[in-house]
Chains A and B, each alone.
Chain A
Amino acid sequence: NAGVMQNPRHLVRRRGQEARLRCSPMKGHSHVYWYRQLPEEGLKFMVYLQKENIIDESGMPKERFSAEFPKEGPSILRIQQVVRGDSAAYFCASSPLPPAGGGDTQYFGPGTRLTVL
């Protein structure tokens, strides 16, 4: 059973370009979470999606950032008009249907390292 897959693993963009980060959850998982980790900091939650729905986007910057998880295909985190401050590691996690209790957990992918020149 393959784990959470993210691609690309490394992405270099110039200021003003668009960045698209993809995440394929573990088989059987229908919930996806995106986190961002700035250098020397802990992970910060960005957005939580189910298939075709955004459940919680409280951690997403209001501008330039968007996320989707279509019925078919991977989840996409899109950053428009990137700036140097967007340089970070972006991690995706997935979980099965969240149980009523803490019976399961989120499994993380290897991350995409975005560098904005």
Chain B
Amino acid sequence: DAKTTQPTSMDCAEGRAANLPCNHSTISGNEYVYWYRQIHSQGPQYIIHGLKNNETNEMASLIITEDRKSSTLILPHATLRDTAVYYCILAYNAGNMLTFGGGTRLMVKP
């Protein structure tokens, strides 16, 4: 069973920031928060991951609360191609099996 909770779906206007929340209140001290997305039945695509500090890369930013019980993935300027299912996953390292929950279906609208 997934240890994260995400909203089932969200809408975002094209060009605006998309903020996707994730609750993980039972996260262990050395578990990382990983984000993946799956565009229309393609293979999941890695986006970003973090442990405690906020992280940013060319795709997104990850904000993790100080108590690590929740996090937010931010797509700063959403495009139509960002329409996908976004998964928030906890794992100790890249070698662990990834447990995919239901994810958030993000619809970016013109």
Binding site for B on A (CB under 8 A): 4, 31, 33, 35, 42-45, 48, 56, 58-59, 89, 91, 93, 95-96, 98-111
Contact = CB atoms under 8 A, between A and B. Distances in A.
Contacts of A58: 97
Contacts of A108: 36, 43-46
A99 B98 contact: no
Interface residues on B, range: 20 to 34
A106 B46 contact: yes
A102 B44 contact: no
- Name the prevailing secondary structure of the A interface residues: loop
Interface of B: 2, 30, 32, 34, 36, 41-46, 49, 51, 87, 91-103
Contacts of B34: 102, 105
